[in-house]
Each structure stands twice: as structure tokens, then as C-alpha cells.
A = this chain, B = another copy of it.
């Protein structure tokens, strides 16, 4: 089977619908590519496209996307809450069916080299990183455009591809290879962000909580939110994460009012959630009608 990849580029425009439409169209019009999701955020002035295809199709769509971002977005005039560093800001590749993480890292390197020819400074991150200190995306983009600009003279932070003197309209882009992650947020029945922060501190893997769970306590729209990334649902599934949030929130007299998924989840996540809560034995994706029709 042809190895498939998912790309989840973030670009620094979340307000101008015409620009966003043209940027998305540059991806959608690439042969053999499917746009799976679009999330736009006016507050952060930022959008996220999810698309998928084989290696050559995803490479071509990514170059097309970078060109369109370069034409549509002037980073030097862009404002928003998010500490962005590029007009095309982050470009992760995720291995899907029949693809390995090495395949995705190769795709990241090929794409990084190609889009540096357009004038972008490119940092390779996570499984595509060229040095251990560049693996962590939050380290690479610390301080946004201004932070990265201040570090670029340091040999430790020379871009992997492209100019060391940034084009202020384009900036720098982080291109990486990573595992699929599920972005899952639980809204609590309180406006006290300290409750969300405390719950997040209890459940996040880094602090001894659940493996494969990243968590932050935030206030969103006047409501306390536990914002999670699940990076390995074979270690901690959606129901396990949610039940941990419920249990920790209950200790503080709070509850979960509703939840949201940002982007997509793999079928496996819905199958595991269905198995967990229904108490099903012997239930796997082979028991989903469409899996057999489509697989």
C-alpha cells in the first residue's frame, strides 16, 4: 500500500476569510490531496488546516501552501495573541497508514529544503530535528518572531535551511515529524482557572500523571478549561484522561460540563471510547461496518 501522511500546518491568518480561502484552496487544488479539516481562530489570528495524501502529494501541497502564505500574509503587519514566528508558522507531518516516523522525518527534511528556496528560514523539530535541543517545538519558537530573531546569530540556533537574516514578511517556520495527537479540552463548571491548573498539574505525564498526556489549565470565555494533548492513546485513552479530570475536579468540588475536540481523532480513539463506556468485550475497529467497506 502507498504510505499516507497527514500534515497539520498552522499559518498566521485567522481573520481575513478571502485570504484564508485562497490559502486553503492552494492545498485543496493539489492532486491526490484531501483537506480533512480547517480550524480558524480570529483571536489568535491563526488557522490550522489538516490534510492528507501520499508523500509526493503532501510535499507538493506544502510547497503550494508556503508560496500562497508568502503571497497573502505580511508577518510584519500581523497581530494576534499567539507568539507566531512565521507567516507559515508550523508544519508537522504525521505518519498514517503504512508510513513510518522515518518516512515522515524525510518528508519534513525534503519540504523544509524546498520551502527555504522561497525565502523562509526553516527549523526542523521533533522527530526531524538535527540536534537534541531543537526537538521540542516550544523551545524552537520561544519568544515568537522576536525571540527567534534574537537567537539566530547563535550557532546553536542557525536555521537548518534558508537565510539567517529573516525576511520580516515571511519569518521562520518549524517543520517537523511527530505522532498523531488528539487535542481534547474539558470545560469545567467553574470560572476559577486555578481549579483547571490544579487538575492539569495532577494529570499531565511530565509531572507524574498519565503517560502520553500534556495538560494546561486555561480560562476560555470565562470558563475554566483543562486543555489536553493526548499523544499516545494506547497508553492513556480519551476516557481514561476524561475520568482522571473528572476525579481530580471532583476533589475540588468541580465537574466537567462539556468537552471539545480540536481537529480530528483516529477511528481507533472512538472505538476505544465506545468499548470503555459500553463495557464491550471483543470489540475492535473490524466491527465497524465502514472499516470493512473502506479499508
Q: Chain A at the B interface: mostly helix, strand, loop or mixed?
A: mixed
> Interface code A244-285, partner B: CB below 8 Å = 1, 0 otherwise?
000000000000111111011111011101101111111100
Q: Which residues of B contact A291 (CB under 8 A)?
A: 267, 290
Q: Which residues of B contact A261 (CB under 8 A)?
A: 280, 283, 287
- Residues of chain A in range 13-34 having any CB-CB distance to chain B below 8 Å: 34
Q: How many residues of A contact B (CB 8 A)?
A: 46
> Interface code A38-53, partner B: CB below 8 Å = 1, 0 otherwise?
0000000000000010
Q: Are B279 and A266 in contact (CB under 8 A)?
A: no
Docked CA distance A266–B96 (Å): 23
Residues of A within 8 A of B (CB): 4, 6, 34, 36-37, 52, 96-97, 180, 238-239, 242, 256-261, 263-267, 269-271, 273-274, 276-283, 286-295
Q: Closest CB of chain B to A174's CB: distance in Å?
A: 22
**Closest residue of chain B to A256, judged by CB?**
B279
Q: Are B34 and A292 in contact (CB under 8 A)?
A: yes
Docked CA distance A263–B37 (Å): 31
Q: Are B292 and A294 in contact (CB under 8 A)?
A: no
**Closest residue of chain B to A264, judged by CB?**
B289
Among the interface residues A180, A270, A274, A276, which one has the most CB atoms of the partner chain B within 10 A? A270
Task: Add 14 more A-B contacts to A263-B287, A273-B273 (CB < 8 A).
Answer: A4-B293, A34-B293, A180-B289, A257-B279, A258-B279, A258-B280, A258-B281, A260-B280, A261-B287, A265-B287, A265-B289, A267-B291, A273-B277, A290-B294
Contacting residue for A277 out of B96, B239, B264, CB 8 A: B239
Q: Are B267 and A290 in contact (CB under 8 A)?
A: yes
Q: Are A278 and B273 in contact (CB under 8 A)?
A: yes
Q: Which residues of B contact A36 (CB under 8 A)?
A: 289, 292-293
**Closest residue of chain B to A34, judged by CB?**
B292
11 contacts between A and B (CB under 8 A): A34-B292, A242-B279, A258-B279, A259-B279, A259-B280, A265-B288, A265-B289, A267-B291, A273-B278, A276-B277, A290-B290
Docked CA distance A138–B186 (Å): 47
Q: Are B289 and A266 in contact (CB under 8 A)?
A: yes
Docked CA distance A265–B287 (Å): 6
Q: Which residues of B contact A293 (CB under 8 A)?
A: 4, 34, 36, 52, 96-97, 294
Q: Closest CB of chain B to A158's CB: distance in Å?
A: 36
Q: Closest CB of chain B to A233's CB: distance in Å?
A: 12
